[in-house]
Amino acid sequence: MNETLSKHWTLSTDADGIAWLTLDCAGASTNTLGSAVITELALHVDALERSRPAGLVIRSGKAAGFIAGADVEEFTQLADGAAARAMVQRSWDLFNRIEALPFPTLALIRGHCMGGGLELALACRYRITVDEPATRLALPEVMLGIVPGWGGMLRLPRVVGPAAALDMMLTGKQIDAKRAKKMGLADECVPPRVMDDAARMLVASARPARRLPFMQRLLNGPLKAVVANGARKQVARKASPAHYPAPYAIIDTWQHFGGNSLAVPPGHSASFEHILGQGTAMNLVRVFFLQQRLKAMGKDEATDFAPRHVHVVGAGVMGGDIAAWCALRGMTVTLQDQSIERIAPAIKRAAESYAKKFRGDRKQVRFTLDRLIADPKGDGIRRADVIIEAIFENLEAKHALFRDIEQRARPDAVIASNTSSLRLEDIAQALRQPERLVGIHFFNPVAMMPLVEVVAGEASDPQQLKRAMSFVQKLDKLPLPVKSAPGFLVNAVLGPYLLEAMRCVEEGIAPETVDRAATDFGMPMGPIELADTVGLDIAMATGRALTGASEVPARLQALVSAGKLGRKSGEGYYHWSEGKVRKGAAGPAPAGLADRLVSPLLAATQGCVDRSVVSDADLADAGVIFGTGFSPWTGGPLHYAATRS
């Protein structure tokens, strides 16, 4: 086998005359398509155009995956739209050359295949996905405020049809190996043991590339407007073009410019110049790096800690959902409450969520449920690596529980509370070794909220905190280290925000108008609807504790006194039916209403930094974005406050 080596690529030719081009980015754990990698790829394509092998297989030399996409760090260095055009032109031209190679080409995809990596794969005639959980394909550029400019907007609609392609590009959703085969994105889906042979056989077959059915070709051609108009309506329900121009640019580029972003004139709203000029892209890139920082914190803390058994005390909504998530992530979980009858609803909810997750695959559901064990006597405490308390917020009850846990737990077990309102120091008074207690604070709904606060009390052992951080990371959550303080970070900033919204209602502004102002700003849910969802009794109690407000808004007080607590009672500020809110029409918002709503949140976030609840402003921004859904287009509350002043 002949080989040609460069820093990042290896080109070899086997006995059948098939070339194998392997990417193994030097000095990196994952493959990315930075400028140096693209330069080397172009040189290898030069050689392939001259040698004309029987076929070409592009694969990864990394265990971590195929290609994670472009080098995002290089994107931050772009000076303007012209620089962006030059970067895109280079890869656009190169991928067109790969598509035009006069022999069969194949991308062998094992592990993540994201962004530019999928665009490279789309330039090949064939794609094979390896059937493993880690294999995921996506064009997530929209999540960074940019567009798939290296050919994704042109080729993906040709391969899978425009509706499926726009769905992927406008949401950034990931597709697994089997789904890729089913939708036509992959030609074959094979197990790892036969992937090389499968690639060799498919290339050797030299069969024509898969062609879309006739109706899909019409929708990708003369009937483009039908698909595009439907896509615009869907995007408009979730994203404002003023804050998120990229999804609209994707639709326009596909519909009007043949999927070629280079053909979009500089003055057009879909152009590089407009997208970069809005500021959203750089702010979303900032959010990406904040997320990467949180992910790295969990990995760096205690990589040798591998929890296999988790014990959760409290089978209510929060405790039950924590237990269900841990089981989903492969851990054995024992769930404790006063009786089997109290635990049963949590097991039922878990089964329902697993059925949705695994799309009715009963075998997968059964295997996952087998790891979730009802344990009313708490026998699992003695075996657990991590023990999480998630009972009601009563200090005496927690004291009694932790005395029992400490007596039965292994000396090296992580002992944690999910408390959201009590001081960790007060809870730790029940322990002979208070340094063992840490906070691991999840948010509701557990399956959807990515952030988990890891709370350090005054006496908490640093090693226990490191292990707690590692545990959270292994749950595929984002661990945020915070100090024990009222509300920690997330609830401490939400309290003033909700209170200000309720004051607006007291002044006669309709709840619907208040909520619309917040969602137009980019919040995932309006503050009044959020208060109703949390429960007005809880909102009132935590609001008093966190804001120090001596006077509760009169309408809030009246609703709570009447037992109208929001979603859980069927009525609060809004009426609720079967868990869904019923709202009236929103009226015109007074000038500056959105700024008025978020200003207390910005001030509270700065206060948490000033009091060292979080160690720096970037972590505060990360925590508020991933813990509350604060408008990502802003780059975070403190970043937004600095740029608007």
607 CB neighbour count, 10 Å cutoff: 15
- Structure tokens that stand for 510 in this block: 């309709």
Asked if residue 301 has pLDDT above 60, the reply is no
Confidence band of 542 (pLDDT split at 50, 70, 90): confident
Alpha carbons 374 and 378: distance in angstroms, whole number: 9
Q: Which of 48-52, 131-135, 538-542, 617-621 has the lowest mean pLDDT?
A: 538-542
Catalytic residue among 141, 453, 500, 529: 453
Task: From 325, 451, 311, 446, select the one nearest 384 (Cα to Cα).
Answer: 311
> Could you tell me the end-to-end alpha-carbon distance of the chain, in angstroms, rounded to an integer?
63
For residues 176-185, give the mean pLDDT: 96
**What pLDDT sits at residue 509?**
96
Confidence band of 545 (pLDDT split at 50, 70, 90): low
pLDDT tens digits, one per residue of 302-316: 467 889 999 999 999
Alpha carbons 450 and 447: distance in angstroms, whole number: 8
Contacts of 447 (CB under 8 A, 6+ apart): 321, 324, 325, 353
- Percent of the chain at pLDDT exceeding 90: 86
pLDDT tens digits, one per residue of 460-497: 999 999 999 999 999 999 999 999 998 999 999 999 99
pTM here is 0.91
Alpha carbons 308 and 397: distance in angstroms, whole number: 28
**What pLDDT sits at residue 416?**
98
**What pLDDT sits at residue 78?**
79
Asked if residue 400 has pLDDT above 90, the reply is yes
Task: From 511, 498, 492, 508, select the one nearest 572 (Cα to Cα).
Answer: 511
Active site residue 491: yes
pLDDT tens digits, one per residue of 183-226: 999 999 999 999 999 999 999 999 999 899 999 999 999 999 99
Task: Find out whether 31 and 67 touch, Cβ atoms under 8 Å.
Answer: yes
Active site residue 420: yes
Confidence band of 541 (pLDDT split at 50, 70, 90): confident
Catalytic residue among 353, 417, 491, 631: 491
Alpha carbons 49 and 11: distance in angstroms, whole number: 13
**What pLDDT sits at residue 303?**
61
- Structure tokens that stand for 299 in this block: 């990995």
3-class DSSP assignment, residue 338:
coil
**What pLDDT sits at residue 420?**
86
Confidence band of 299 (pLDDT split at 50, 70, 90): confident
For residues 165-185, give the mean pLDDT: 96
Task: Find out whether 414 and 455 touch, Cβ atoms under 8 Å.
Answer: no
Active site residue 240: no
Largest alpha-carbon pair distance within the chain?
82
Could you tell me how far CA 246 lies from the centroid of its own chain?
A: 18
Confidence band of 281 (pLDDT split at 50, 70, 90): very high
Is the peptide bond preceding residue 524 cis, with omega within 30 degrees of 0? no
- Percent of the chain at pLDDT exceeding 70: 98
97, β-bridge pairs: none
For residues 64-86, give the mean pLDDT: 87
Active site residue 31: no
Q: How far is CA 365 from CA 274, 323, 356, 368, 373, in A?
A: 47, 15, 9, 5, 14
For residues 607-615, give the mean pLDDT: 97
From the number of C-beta atoms within 10 Å of its C-beta (0-12, 13-18, 19+), residue 132 rates as: middle
Contacts of 230 (CB under 8 A, 6+ apart): none
Q: According to DSSP H, which parts of 257-375 are helical?
A: 272-278, 280-301, 317-328, 340-357, 362-370
**What pLDDT sits at residue 492?**
93
Catalytic residue among 31, 220, 417, 420: 420
Catalytic residue among 309, 441, 529, 631: 441
**What pLDDT sits at residue 546?**
64
Asked if residue 2 has pLDDT above 90, the reply is no
Confidence band of 76 (pLDDT split at 50, 70, 90): confident
For 619-636, b/e burial (b = at least 16 CB within 10 A) is bbbbbbbbbbbbbbbbbb
